[in-house]
Every structure is written in C-alpha cells, then in structure tokens.
Amino acid sequence: MRKLLVTLSAMGGVFALPHAASASLGGTVDTITTDQSKMSVRMHAVARSGAGNLHTLTMANGGEVREYTNAAGTVYAIRWTGPGKPDLDTLLGTHFATMQADNPVIARRGMRRPPGVDRADLKIMSGGHAGAFWGYAWLPLLVPPGFDPSSL
C-alpha cells in the first residue's frame, strides 16, 4: 500500500510539471527539427502527402516516426513503429498530459491494455510488446480534407 501511495504522489508531481512549448503534435513544422535533436534521429526525409508533407524520422534503434503536416505547416498526425517506444513526451507535447490523465495507472493495473485517447479533439492509439511497439495520434480538428486515420 505504501508503494502505491509513493507512486501516486510521484505521478501527481509529473502532472504539475509544465510541458515545453516545443510540442510536435499540434505544433508547427519547425518543431520537427526540435524532435530530431531530442530523440537523436539518424535521418529525416520529407515527401508530399496529400495536402501537406510527411516527415520520416529514423531513430538510432531502427524505429521510425512519421509526422504529417497540413498545408498550413501544422503537425496534425504522428505515427511510430519500432523496437522501443519513442519519446512520447516530445512527440505528443502538451497532449502527453492528456494521455496520462486518460490512462491512470490504477485503472490499468493488472490489465494488459495499452494507453489510448478517444476524444473529439485528440485520438491516440498504441500497442505492441517488447521489441515491437507501434502507435499513432492525430488531431481531428486539424486534419486536411479526405484524411483517413487508417492511412497512418
């Protein structure tokens, strides 16, 4: 019981910490450069994708992060795959706190359910296991016309 109380107290401190303004999801295309340096990315490729661009970041562990920007240059979706989880605090930015709040440890204790968010303004899906993680997140209010989440 004491260990649980200590864990909950520590988590409360995490929620009280401010997040940096370098949020990727919902941030400008400039935040992708910040993501590169924070996550030690080996390669960054850019390609046209619908009404915007697709930025592909290759991580040192072989994992991949894709960041989708709309015509205004705003990151409206991200996708990650690889042997380890990327720095979700960096990738989700201010939305990381929402993911934590929607997935309290107590509610998930003993369950094998990956964290996710299903809100009108934010969608996050994730899953996997050691050596093979995946996930994606998008902001429904910022997606370009014709966007299909299954294309992530």
Measured CA to CA, the distance from residue 132 to residue 146 in angstroms comes to 30
The pLDDT value given to residue 129:
87
pTM above 0.85, yes or no: no
Measured CA to CA, the distance from residue 60 to residue 106 in angstroms comes to 33
At residue 63, φ and ψ (nearest 5 deg) are: -75, 165
pLDDT in tens, 10-31: 333 333 333 333 348 999 888 7
Q: Grade residue 65 by pLDDT with cuts at 50, 70 and 90.
A: very high
What mean pLDDT comes out for the span 138-148?
Answer: 92
Least confident interval from 2-6, 126-130, 139-143: 2-6
The pLDDT value given to residue 25:
93
C-alpha 4 chain-centroid distance:
27
The pLDDT value given to residue 29:
85
Q: If DSSP states are collapsed to H, E and C, what string results for the chain?
A: CHHHHHHHHHHHHHHHCCCCCCCCCCCECHHHHHHHHHCCEEEEEEEEECCEEEEEEEECCCCEEEEEECCCCEEEEEEEEECCCCCHHHHHCCHHHHHHHHCCHHHHCCCCCCCCEECCCCEEEEEEECCEEEEEEECCCCCCCCCCHHHC
Domain map of the chain by residue range? Answer: 23-146
The pLDDT value given to residue 1:
38
Q: What is the CA radius of gyration of the chain?
A: 16
The chain-wide mean pLDDT, for the chain, equals 79
Which residue type sits at 115? P
Strands 64-69 and 52-59 come out as: antiparallel
